[in-house]
Structure 1
């Protein structure tokens, strides 16, 4: 039974899609929509510009169409790249990824023409996340390449850019490049559970099971209530002959989010293992 489940898992795509799709699309969408209202110390945002930018974002958060109207009006009134950035954020809130990409790209170009290369780098990264959310990995790579080439501050911004480009490389099938970028990301953002999750998944796919076990354990420690993390913990456990750990992890994934991709993949894995999925918990009224 265990051997059959092992073989089934090795050729089974939904579980890989559940982890990678969540990482690629959900995190990319969140980052594409996230504004970076601060700028480098050498080029501080004027107080009145900062207030206008925040008002535009507030409008987008309440009603993306209102944000689009606000940003376009501000752009025509001389809002420069800040207005285009808010326009991209508004389109991202509406999940209109193609115009979001264009807006962030135009904002990056305009920022660089104004001499603000660091802000341009951040905007290239936002364009990359919009491209990832749209499923255009090739375009996303070009945007992330541009962001990284221009330089980003060490820490969260640099780490997220490398993590996002690693996600892109996974989509493009270049696992060696993905590993290189993930190693940088883990150094820069060691407290990001998504980085450890993707690293564990990538290690499993490469057959590096010791690394996979170590990194998924870090992800579980940081994010014990994430169904995708529980799913991957089970995937790695079954491939390292720990069927009891796999069953427990997959059952936890189902309990946490039965209707998500991760929860459904975990339930399917449990059926292959010959174990039952836990009953879905009722949502409190």
Structure 2
């Protein structure tokens, strides 16, 4: 399955610019060795007066351990500290918080954090596109589909190289009954991720909605061929069984990319 642009990792790759960057690097190295070692190092740093970067490292450590609420809370604390310090990091930190909330299945909190990231006005280009993409994912989870469409349009414009943006745009267009848009967008996703089962699964769903069973069958068989052990391949097998009349027809159980 296509993975979203992971803002949590991006922050570490970008690197800090504050004077205590060496300690941040040491903290990130501790996270890489073991998430709990990173938590301990970040907490020691905070106790010694560490500021934005200590909180950010704590968030990264919790994220590495998939403790998403703790990660999101740490990133939000870092973002607020960055706003007070006016050090230019707040937008990225709010984006990290939103990404963590989304990963933890808390879309309403994700929208709040991502709104704060966009309100900072400091992001641009692909990063801005990825913030819109994350907010679109959260809005879809909240069934705010019209709002999600606005964000997905921004995501495909600002981050056109990301196949997930095109996949989710195609999925949303199908759900809204715009099959021409869905077909165009899944083509863009397939160009960027030709061997991804979730893209092939969605292509089959679009074809089925267009009444083209042969194309749907080909797409779902393709999903199984490229990633046979994936959840998308399992869904494709179920849909093929329905198409062949060997299973009770049912609505698709998953939305690709969700």
Query: TM-score, normalised to structure 1's length?
Result: 0.81
Query: Root-mean-square deviation (CA), in Å?
Result: 2.0
Give how far 1:257 is off. Answer: 2.5
Contact 2:91 2:123 in 1 (8 A): no
Contact 2:55 2:75 in 1 (8 A): yes
Q: Mark the CA change 1:112 to 1:37 in structure 2 (over 3 Å): closer, same or farther.
A: farther
Q: How does 1:48-67 map to 2 (within 5 A)?
A: 49-67=20-38
2:135 counterpart residue number? 165
For residue 27 of structure 1, give the secondary structure of its aligned residue in structure 2. coil
Q: Which runs of 5+ in 1 are unaligned?
A: 1-21, 277-285
Q: Mark the CA change 1:38 to 1:78 in structure 2 (over 3 Å): closer, same or farther.
A: farther
**How far apart, in 2, do the equivalents of 1:163 and 1:36 lie?**
20
**How far apart, in 1, do the equivalents of 2:136 and 2:159 lie?**
14
Alignment partner of 2:189 out of 219, 222, 227: 219
2:17 counterpart residue number? 45
Give how far 1:37 is off. Answer: 5.3
**How far apart, in 2, do the equivalents of 1:275 and 1:257 lie?**
24
2:64 counterpart residue number? 93
Contact 1:60 1:66 in 2 (8 A): yes
**How far apart, in 1, do the equivalents of 2:14 and 2:233 lie?**
38
What is the number of residues matched between the two proteins? 246
For residue 124 of structure 2, give the secondary structure of its aligned residue in structure 1. coil
Note the alpha carbon deviations across 1:177-198, whole angstroms, 9 max, x for none: 0000111111110111000000
Following TM superposition, the consecutive aligned residue runs of length 4 or more in structure 1 with deviations greater than 4 angstroms are: none
- Specify which structure has the bigger relative contact order, considering alpha-carbon pairs within 8 angstroms and separated by 6 or more residues: 1
Query: TM-score, normalised to structure 2's length?
Result: 0.89
Contact 1:60 1:89 in 2 (8 A): yes
